[in-house]
Chain A
Amino acid sequence: MNQWFDIIKYRRWFFALSGTITVLGILAFAFFGFNLGTDFKAGSRVQMDLGQPVTTSQVRDMFAQNGFPIGPNAITLASATAGSPNNTAVVRFGERLTPAQVAKIDALEKQYFPKSQGNQTQMVDPIVATQTSHKAVYAVLLASLFIVVYVAIRFEYRFAIAAIIALLHDAFIVMSVFALLRREVDLTFVAAILTIVGYSINDTIVIFDRIRENQKLAKPRSFEELERMVNKSLWQTMTRSINTVVTVLIAALLLYLFGGQSIRTFTFALIIGLISGAYSSIFIASPIWVVWKSREFKKKPKKPVAETV
């Protein structure tokens, strides 16, 4: 691909952009926090496929009239596929529903909404919720650690650190978007973050691989040469960076649109992460590496002096 513009030269703009998004993300966490789902927050969740367009008040009536304790924001409506009417209702309870209550909901659902397709109920005890949250955090940290080690072995530690900064940047952006939009965070969200952590680094590796190769062909001797070499590598790999993400994005997007309500959180997180991953591989990871690598040029002149002493 032609070199449209000098990516490395404008690196400060990209750093500023990502920095701004990160600050906004931190603010979003501080003010909103996560909208934690039942997996992490103990209690119950009932997802009903009602087979007909419904309103919140219809669903509320069904529970309120039969003595279920229902909070003000307990009901969320969703559609089975994007764009179709809201046939699905998700109701969350702070309390743990007993099997008897679950059976009662089954019966009520059929009585109030004769076309209903049945439901999916979930009950989680605080013990399990705490365990799950801990596991989720460990899993993301551990996966990142292993990937750093792998990249450090295959490349060099500077590549590994640059890659991991880009990767955590992606994970953070997805989390910020979820905090900002108040979207429910459940266990599949963690799976999405882990997938992003594993996959978004692919592009980074393809680019680093090319940088490593070009570096061998002609070793850059100055910051300008380094800048030019990395910029060339980025544009040489641009088509592949874009095409590889586009294919996965196609799959994620179609799953989001048609794949049903249960995996929509997952695919939404994935879409954000894929886009952010493609961006950070090109505009964040490589510039970080350049900045770091260029320190070698500043150190080198001093070396001979040190040796003569």
Chain B
Amino acid sequence: MKKTKRNWGRFFAFLLFVVVILGLTGGTSVRLWKTIPLGLDLKGGMDLLYQIEATPSQPLTKTGIDAALQAVELRVNSLGVSSPQIELEGKDFIRVDLAGNFNQQQYTQVIGTTADLKFYGQATQNKNGTWTPDPKTLLASGKDLKSNSKWAQDPQTGNNVVTLDFKDPALWQSITTKYLQKPVYIFLNGSLLSAPKIDSVMSNGQSEIYGPGLTTPQECITLAHELNAGALPYPLKLVSSMNVGPSLGMSSLKATMIAGLAAIIVIFLFMLSLYRLAGLIADVALVAYLYLVLVTFSGLHVVLTLSGLAALILGVGMAVDANIITYERIKDEVRNGKSLQSSVVAGNKRALRTIIDSNATTFIAGAVMYWFGQGDIRGFAISLMLSIVISLITAVLLSRVMLLLFTKSNVVGRPWWFGIGKGVVQK
């Protein structure tokens, strides 16, 4: 091969690319990583799917569904979970995603049920010991209460109680006047909670309830939440739930990261041993791929799930495919008797079409997955599509610029450095 003059300017431009990529990645990737929101399966939490059920008297309407969604939001907010995700899925499903560690039992109750609190003037005891209220004597219900119920301990009895505050103190005053020295029957969700005797007329509208099923602070807090959240416009049915413990999430994140790191290292070495310096360029492009993935996830606030992480790691393997196709194409060109430089130019050009065609099909599969899937599958589909687009930028565009700069700098001329063996080069 003819010796040509070395072009150090091009070589330094190439080095600049390498330094900028490695510098940016080394300098900012940890900070970026911390800004990426993690999915429930990685940090623990609950995913609840409710179906809004129509009742004979209440068919589903657009406004009704919106009201149900709002009611659920109100309830979730009353629980004080940070950044909950509440969305309507399909026509009549509400999905609630809550991150963190908490009592699933309490939370599902607060979100999905309406506390049906009613005060009656009369009730009769059944043969089996349960009580049935006399519907004609309904005095007041949960609707008459302010949304500020809370758990308290009665200073005299020490009982755990839920405090009630009537919106209209006059209503409570008239009830206590009418039923002075008589019992009032308080029903919660259809069963008798307590039947206290009214000792005195209460004019400030304040009262408290206690009874079986309200013995622990936890139970009182739950009921207070339910009362404060008001009634749901429709009954909600919990049709699917997923509950991930936080330490389990952390350990799967760790395991997948280790697997990913191992995969990246092996793929690095694989490329390096097959294509030598060209392989090194592919590896630098791969670093740029990983960095751009971080930037994209952080910038678009894409939630990273376990399956999404798996897609990104598979994406590492798919990203170098473009390099392999290009490098093999360059080999073909050298085999056809072209010089190394013109082979690199022609190989890059000819490989592009193949690369785009082959990536398009994977992208189509990803788009279909996103369209049909939910939750987990969507996380995977988003990551797959993003990784394809990003890998086209790094493994095609960036690699090409770097490879051309490097080849045209003439710093190395032997095809061996490109993984092209002696048997390939025809003299």
Smallest beta-carbon distance A165→chain B, Å: 15
Q: Name which residue of chain B comes closest to A208, CB basis.
A: B357
Partner among A47, A139, A202, A247 whose Cβ is within 8 Å of the Cβ of B320: A247
> What is the CA–CA distance of A208 and B362 in the complex, to the nearest angstrom?
16
Are B314's CB and A252's CB within 8 A?
Answer: yes
Binary B-proximity of A221-264 (CB < 8 A = 1, otherwise 0):
00000000000000011011001101111111011011111110
Interface membership of A138, Cβ < 8 A:
yes
Partner of B240, one of A120, A125, A199: A125
Q: Which of B104, B369, B373, B381 contacts A99 (CB 8 A)?
A: B104
Docked Cα-Cα span, A12 to B421, in Å, equals 35
Q: Are A81 and B255 in contact (CB under 8 A)?
A: yes
With contacts A188-B307, A191-B369, A247-B270 taken as known, whether A120 is within 8 angstroms of B242 at the C-beta atoms is yes
- The chain B residue with its CB closest to the CB of A255 is B259
* Residue B41 is within 8 A (CB to CB) of chain A in the complex: yes
CB-contact partner of A135 in B103, B108, B318, B373, under 8 A: B373
Given contacts A128-B240, A248-B317, A254-B262, A201 and B358 within 8 Å (CB-CB): yes
The reply to whether the CB of A270 lies closer than 8 angstroms to some CB of chain B is: yes
When the two chains form their complex, are residues A247 and B324 in contact, meaning their CB atoms are under 8 A apart? yes
Whether A251 contacts B373 in the complex (CB less than 8 A), given A80-B255, A103-B104, A206-B358, comes out as: no
The A-contacting residues of B in range 285-334, CB under 8 angstroms, are 306-307, 310-311, 313-314, 316-318, 320-321, 324-325, 328, 332
Interface residues of B in 329-347 (CB under 8 A from A): 332
How far apart sit A131 and B281, CA to CA, in the bound complex (Å)?
Answer: 47
Tell whether, in the assembled complex, residue A260 and residue B365 are in contact, meaning their CB atoms are under 8 Å apart: no
- Contact A199 B365, beta carbon cutoff 8 Å: yes
Contacts of A194 in B (CB 8 A): 365-366, 368-369
Contact of A197 among B251, B365, B376, B380 (CB under 8 A): B365
Interface contact A209-B354, CB-CB below 8 Å: yes
- Decide: B252 and A147 in contact? CB cutoff 8 A: no
What string of 1s and 0s marks CB contacts (under 8 Å) between B344-367 and chain A? 000000000110011111111110
Q: How distant is the Cα of A266 from the Cα of B309 in the complex, in angstroms?
A: 13
Q: Which residue of A lies closest to B332 (CB)?
A: A236
Which listed residue, A99, A147, A252, A260, touches B105 by the CB 8 Å rule?
A: A99
Residue B377 at the A interface, CB < 8 A? yes
Residue of B nearest to A146 (CB): B364
How far apart sit A263 and B41, CA to CA, in the bound complex (Å)?
11
Query: In the complex, how many angstroms separate the beta carbon of A197 from the nearest chain B beta carbon?
Result: 5
Asked whether A252 and B241 contact (CB < 8 A) given A139-B368, A206-B354, A240-B328, the answer is no
**Are A255 and B256 within 8 A (Cβ)?**
yes
Specify which chain B residues have a CB less than 8 angstroms from the CB of A118 in the assembled complex.
44, 244-248
| Cβ-based interface call for A23 (8 A) | no
Instruction: Tell me, yes or no, whether B81 is within 8 Å of chain A by CB.
Output: no
Judge whether A122 is part of the interface by a CB distance below 8 angstroms.
Answer: yes
Q: Which residues of chain A (264-305) have a CB below 8 Å from chain B?
A: 266-267, 270
Query: Does B384 count as interface, using CB distance less than 8 angstroms?
Result: yes
Which residues of B23-64 have CB atoms within 8 Å of chain A's CB atoms?
41, 44, 49, 51
| Chain A hits for B369, CB < 8 A | 139, 143, 191, 194
The interface residues of chain B lying within 8 Å CB-to-CB of A102 are 104-105, 241, 243
CB distance from A123 to the nearest CB of B (A): 5
- Which residues on the A side are within 8 Å of B267 (C-beta)? 247, 250-251
Q: Does B1 contact A (CB under 8 A)?
A: no
- Expressed in whole angstroms, the Cα–Cα distance for A259 and B328 within the complex equals 31
Min Cβ gap B11→A in Å is 28
Most-contacted residue by chain B among A136, A190, A244, A257 (CB, 10 A): A244
A151 within 8 A of B: yes
A19 at the interface (CB under 8 A from B): no
Q: Is A121 an interface residue (CB 8 A)?
A: yes
Question: How far apart are the CA atoms of A120 and B39 in the complex, in Å?
Answer: 14
Separation in Å of the A49 CB from the closest CB of chain B?
5
Most chain B CB within 10 A, of A246, A251, A263, is at A251
CA distance A135 to B376 in the complex (A): 14
Q: How far is the CB of A95 from chain B (nearest CB, A)?
A: 14
Closest to A209 in B: B354
Distance, CA A288 to CA B245, complexed state (A): 50
Contacting A120 at CB < 8 Å: which of B109, B244, B256, B271?
B244
| Residues of chain B within 8 A of A190, CB atoms compared | 373, 377
Q: Which residues on B sit within 8 Å (CB–CB) of A103?
A: 103-105
A198 CB within 8 Å of chain B: yes
CB contacts under 8 Å to A, within B182-231, are none
Contact across chains for B361 and A262 when beta carbons are under 8 A apart: no
Q: Could you name 25 residue pairs across A and B whose Cβ atoms are closer than 8 Å?
A: A47-B248, A102-B105, A118-B44, A118-B244, A118-B245, A119-B243, A122-B240, A123-B240, A124-B239, A124-B240, A127-B239, A135-B372, A138-B372, A139-B368, A187-B376, A190-B377, A202-B361, A209-B357, A240-B328, A250-B267, A251-B314, A251-B316, A260-B255, A266-B307, A270-B314
Q: Which 6 A-B pairs have the closest CB atoms?
A: A118-B245, A198-B365, A248-B317, A125-B239, A258-B259, A260-B255
